[in-house]
Structure 1
Amino acid sequence: MASALLVTLFTLVIKGLQYLYSHNVAHYINSEFLSRLLIPIIGVLVILLLAKVTGYKYLRTGIPFVLHRLKVAYGVIPFRNTFNQFWGSSIAIASGFSVGREGPAVHLGAACSSYIGNKLNLPFNTVRTLCACGIAAGISASFNTPIAAVIFVMEVILREYKVHIFIPIMIAAIVGSTITETIYGPAHQFEFFDKIQLDLLHYPVLILFGVILGVLSFTFNKNLTALIQFSSKFSLSKRLLLAAAVTGLIGAYLPPAIDTDLHISILTDSSFDSAYFLVALLLAKILMTIIALGLGIPGGVVGPILVIGAISGVAAAGVISGSYASPDLAVDMALMGMAGFMAATLNAPLAALLAVVELSNQIEVIAPAMVVISTACVFSGQFFRNRSVFVMQLEVQKLLYRQPPIEKSLQRIGVLGIMQSNCSVMENSDEQHLISEYNASDGQQVIITKTADAKPKFIWHQARVSEDNVVSSFDQHVLIPISSRATLSEAYSALKDIRKGGVYVYHDSPDKFIGIVSFAQIRKYLLEGTTSL
């Protein structure tokens, strides 16, 4: 709920900023030439001022940064970074840059959830799940697409399907959608579409269109990541000002390209009956998106991707018709373009399919969209080795996003879930006393002694049992302290060199002993998938 409300506030701030210079929110076609030229430049100056105040040099935000933080910090995101994401992205979108809301929605949802998890001192593996829930709530609140939000989180963010995290993510998406419907009503962005008219006779054309989208997605991803890598040698101010200049010039001469929320109904308007116009608009939108995101303008990529796909579809409809396409065919092909281009660019076919279904509120879109999505993904992946644009961004920015299989597996289980709490902590280390204490508990107690040092240590006395089941002596292991929020990954890292003994779990302070996790437990989990001894 907190994540959804924060994302809703973000949307309201964007509209409020747009009202400062235009009463026709998110529609620049009727704006004056000079306004379209200067608004992006003014927006960048404000973003740079905020970056200077917060001390952030690189403005790393959005989905790639969240993917990185999920791997290295269980989704915990710095506050200053979140502050820059909220205000930087709202100003960028309000200024007409070709960036979307979903990147900030993911970032803000993750940041809000991780903040709550930290305040509640939840285990880190739980914070990661909570972070995924916040992302789902944020996307659902931003677009009112709960099913697509769930699949997007599983397919793009977590990149895995696990039942134990599927349910909380679904609940979070429902909450986000409910909040959006309460504030804005139940309408979807593109539900004005009529029933899809495409049939089996159009499928050969859809396959060819999917091939074109596959090539276009590879070209888009390759140029975007190349620009990110090339521009990293320049200062932030130079990069953002160049992006503002390009956006302002294109917007001044081609106003529909700078619209922050380009409706497909605009594309199918009879006044845009020129194929040259649609091609020019497509190229302008691709260029503006690559320039904005490649040079560091804060914002998301999914929104522009959907617009680029829609323009491609309308242009393809014109080619099919041999002239200006009928509105019905143009709308149908626009939906196909949105689905295919999003799927191939993000390498997320299921998320793209469900996003288009929910945005259009048309179940009939599924079959033809699957044809386009399958063709686009297979062609771009097999012939061009195209991958998710987020993964490619992480690689050129040298941000960690992969983990060794052992670490990835161990991070799923918190130490609280498997620790042995049946411990007897004593200050008397006399061996005979320890043996009697062990025998009195029928071997059920874990014997721990605490030293009387200024910084006390906890020592695990592991019983040596003879063949006739008699305790003769103890092996002593100095336990390594580890927070109750840690996972088995941190415990394994502490023990992997000595490969014996264990760690003791504490709460708040290393003096507050609450249980132990042995290396034998971790080893048993890695070999057999169980932590019970």
Structure 2
Amino acid sequence: MPKAKSFLFKRFLKRTFSKLEKLIFLLKELLTPRQFIYLSCILVGMSSALAVIILKTFAHWVFKSSQRLDAFFHLPYSNSTLPIIGIVITVIITKRLLGGSIEKGTSQIMYAVAKKRGIIPRKQMFAQIITSSFTVGMGGSAGLESPITVTGAAFGSNFAQNYRLSYKDRTLLLACGVAAGIAAAFNAPIAGVLFASEVILAEISITAFIPIMISAATGALISTVVLNEDILFSFKNVEFYDFHNIPYYILLGVLSGLVSINYARTFRKVEHYIASLKFNAINKALFGAGILGVLIFFFPSLFGEGYENIKILADNHPEQMVKNTVFERFSDSSWILLLVISATMLVKVYATSLTLSAGGNGGNFAPSLFVGSYLGFTLASFLNLTGLTKLPIGNFTLVGMAGILSGLFHAPLTAIFLIAEITGGYSLMVPLMIVSSVSFAISKRFEPHSFDIKNLADKGEVFTDNRDTNILNSIDVSKLIQSDYKAISVSPNLDELVQKIQESDDAIFPVLDEENKLLGLIFLDEIRPIVFSPFKVKYTTTNEVMHPPKEIIFYDETLETIMEKFDTSGCKVLPVLQEGVFLGFINKQLILEKYRMRLKSMVIE
């Protein structure tokens, strides 16, 4: 009987979705393109918000279930054991159910926009929810916001694919899904809009803000109605800032920038080390998660997202951080408490990098807020304990979050308005602007690309804040190679060359060896006097008329680098090699034509 009911329920859902899909297709025919985009952004916003609700609820259920599991089995050192179990479960799910891999981080969204024309795999609509819930819900030291943004982007992308929308509209709806996800996660619609425009989209016009704002508002509204207040991340007790403390906020901005740089570089080092280990997936998970378990044993606040600990610090109750820990006997010593909090702040990057590189799924958004709050608390508490001044602990704890978020993700506007929205007002706007801008300036000076996309940006595979670079990097180099060339072999005369000239309209002829390696180039304009003289044709060798290329294009180079080679050499056509093998030519004029075509299609209006 239960199976029959399950079958009928699935059949009902299938019919319902089929009818809804037909209705949306009908509306697409009846509405103008712009009206359909407005409708689409509402539907994408609703879908992303529901995904956030499911993700947070499921993660909360995993957490509660793991606590019940601990109570039943009496796991030794449960706070250290549960994250290991969660990461191993995540690895098994990824391996058995998700094809062995899962894309992590917001960098994958930008890669999809830059290189995959905004197409995100359908599995990302549910894969992030399942895997991150087990990782974070069981204590992995990461955040849920990155999986939320990827899920929202996947909903927007697949909606656009399903209803056959253009690349421009697909990218816009992808951004709408991201904005709605962030808005729903924090009940911060403005931060959602700014995150989508600052981090996800490199080029956006004013008119594109309307659909993104609608999606963000939709996501925030649904989240507010459905989720309980204790699941949302919010603060109410905030003091109005004192302008006499401005120098200390500047100092916090400087420290935030430096800590952001250290966080990014340390994370990459740990990630590369774990990736270099010759372990299988399970052993690597056990190794990385095992170290994480040790860190959590000494610093329990590293368990999970850590938002409750941020609230504790903002309320200036650091003694609660050491309850049931090895440091509990020092709960009355302000200096030792400060030392423990400072150490926790510095160790957080190791906990998060181990969580993710060992096979867990999550993001660095929540860890950046965690580190920022601890930094702000540490600075204010230190200055207060020394007697130099009397700073509001809560304000510095909250503003510090904006500093690290801005420095790490290069998103100062998102940082400013996110903290302003979750604190329920704009009384900290000036300190937020100071700390975020100073942190961003310092981080940008030493780390040109944001933490999340540096590896891809170094390869030229994601958008940057340079418009020309964005468009060039979105063009597929392999499709520009002209492989219909007439090759010449080394010869004591030019008979073969003359024959090839008669058979084609080419102006350049590559000279290749038996292994298709490029030996040189022969230019028709230079040898015209020779080919019209039978005597010279017979007694002139290819070595005498060929020249080494002024520049060589390698197959894996970005178009930005290729254009620099065209400018440096002054050539209109250059040869392309892959591992020494000649592939063909690339024409500068063809690149410029592709650039103009892509410029028309890429700008979101």
1:394 aligns with 2:449: no
Give the secondary structure class of the aligned counterpart of 1:22. Answer: helix
Q: 1:284 deviation in Å?
A: 2.6
1:184 aligns with 2:227: yes
1:169 aligns with 2:212: yes
Give the secondary structure class of the aligned counterpart of 2:353. Answer: helix
C-alpha distance 275-324 of structure 1, shift in aligned 2 (>3 A): farther
C-alpha distance 208-175 of structure 1, shift in aligned 2 (>3 A): same
Give the secondary structure class of the aligned counterpart of 1:373. Answer: helix
Match runs of 1:384-463 below 5 Å: 384-395=446-457, 400-402=461-463, 405=468, 408=471
Match runs of 1:60-139 below 5 Å: 60-139=103-182
Match of 2:443 in 1: 380
More helix by share: 2
Match of 1:12 in 2: 57
Cα deviation 1:288-321 (Å, max 9, x = unaligned): 1232234442111111100110011111111110
Q: 1:366 deviation in Å?
A: 0.7
The residue type equivalent to 1:392 in the other structure is: K
Give the secondary structure class of the aligned counterpart of 2:102. Answer: coil
CA contact (8 A) 1:103 1:302 kept: yes
Cα deviation 1:416-461 (Å, max 9, x = unaligned): xxxxxxxxxxxxxxxxxxxxxxxxxxxxxxxxxxxxxxxxxxxxxx
Match of 1:45 in 2: 88
Root mean square deviation of aligned Cα: 3.3
What is the TM-score normalised by the length of structure 2? 0.63
C-alpha distance 388-100 of structure 1, shift in aligned 2 (>3 A): same
CA contact (8 A) 2:141 2:352 kept: yes
Q: 1:237 deviation in Å?
A: 3.2
Give the secondary structure class of the aligned counterpart of 2:220. Answer: helix
What is the TM-score normalised by the length of structure 1? 0.71
Q: 1:227 deviation in Å?
A: 2.9
Cα deviation 1:45-77 (Å, max 9, x = unaligned): 211211221353443222111111111223221
Q: 1:362 deviation in Å?
A: 2.6
C-alpha distance 328-360 of structure 1, shift in aligned 2 (>3 A): farther
C-alpha distance 104-385 of structure 1, shift in aligned 2 (>3 A): closer
Q: 1:280 deviation in Å?
A: 2.1
CA contact (8 A) 2:150 2:178 kept: yes
C-alpha distance 257-230 of structure 1, shift in aligned 2 (>3 A): closer
Give the distance between the partners of 2:184 and 2:256, measured in 1 at CA: 29
The residue type equivalent to 2:444 in the other structure is: G
Match of 1:365 in 2: 428
Cα deviation 1:129-166 (Å, max 9, x = unaligned): 11111111111111111000000000001023312321
The residue type equivalent to 1:22 in the other structure is: Q
C-alpha distance 131-529 of structure 1, shift in aligned 2 (>3 A): closer
Match runs of 1:297-312 below 5 Å: 297-312=360-375
Match of 2:312 in 1: 266
Give the distance between the partners of 1:169 and 1:210, measured in 2 at CA: 30
Give the distance between the partners of 1:393 and 1:113, measured in 2 at CA: 25
CA contact (8 A) 1:59 1:296 kept: no
Q: 1:283 deviation in Å?
A: 2.1
Give the distance between the partners of 2:598 and 2:408, measured in 1 at CA: 38
Counterpart among 383, 387, 408 of residue 345 in structure 1:
408
Give the secondary structure class of the aligned counterpart of 2:79. Answer: helix
Match of 2:196 in 1: 153
Give the distance between the partners of 1:269 and 1:399, measured in 2 at CA: 46
The residue type equivalent to 1:84 in the other structure is: A
CA contact (8 A) 1:275 1:324 kept: no
Give the distance between the partners of 1:309 and 1:239, measured in 2 at CA: 29
CA contact (8 A) 2:125 2:151 kept: yes
CA contact (8 A) 2:406 2:436 kept: yes
Match of 1:443 in 2: none
Give the distance between the partners of 2:473 and 2:266, measured in 1 at CA: 37
CA contact (8 A) 1:224 1:293 kept: no
Runs of 5+ in structure 2 lacking a partner? 1-45, 321-333, 476-589
The residue type equivalent to 1:301 in the other structure is: N
Give the distance between the partners of 1:224 and 1:527, measured in 2 at CA: 35
Paired-residue identity, %? 26
Give the secondary structure class of the aligned counterpart of 2:361. Answer: coil
Counterpart among 347, 351, 355 of residue 418 in structure 2:
355
Give the distance between the partners of 1:278 and 1:219, measured in 2 at CA: 17
Q: 1:410 deviation in Å?
A: 12
C-alpha distance 372-55 of structure 1, shift in aligned 2 (>3 A): closer
Give the distance between the partners of 2:400 and 2:430, measured in 1 at CA: 14
Match of 1:193 in 2: 237
Match of 1:496 in 2: none
Give the distance between the partners of 1:207 and 1:32, measured in 2 at CA: 46
Corresponding residue pairs, total: 415
Give the distance between the partners of 2:388 and 2:286, measured in 1 at CA: 38
CA contact (8 A) 1:189 1:359 kept: yes
CA contact (8 A) 2:407 2:436 kept: yes
Q: 1:182 deviation in Å?
A: 1.1
CA contact (8 A) 2:95 2:101 kept: no
Match of 1:292 in 2: 355
Give the secondary structure class of the aligned counterpart of 2:428. Answer: helix
1:203 aligns with 2:246: yes
C-alpha distance 364-237 of structure 1, shift in aligned 2 (>3 A): same
Cα deviation 1:201-249 (Å, max 9, x = unaligned): 2111111221111111001111212333343333443443233112211
Give the distance between the partners of 1:175 and 1:156, measured in 2 at CA: 20
Cα deviation 1:89-125 (Å, max 9, x = unaligned): 1111101112111101111001112222121122222
C-alpha distance 525-247 of structure 1, shift in aligned 2 (>3 A): closer
The residue type equivalent to 1:349 in the other structure is: P
Runs of 5+ in structure 1 lacking a partner? 413-518
Give the distance between the partners of 2:113 and 2:157, measured in 1 at CA: 10
C-alpha distance 193-387 of structure 1, shift in aligned 2 (>3 A): farther
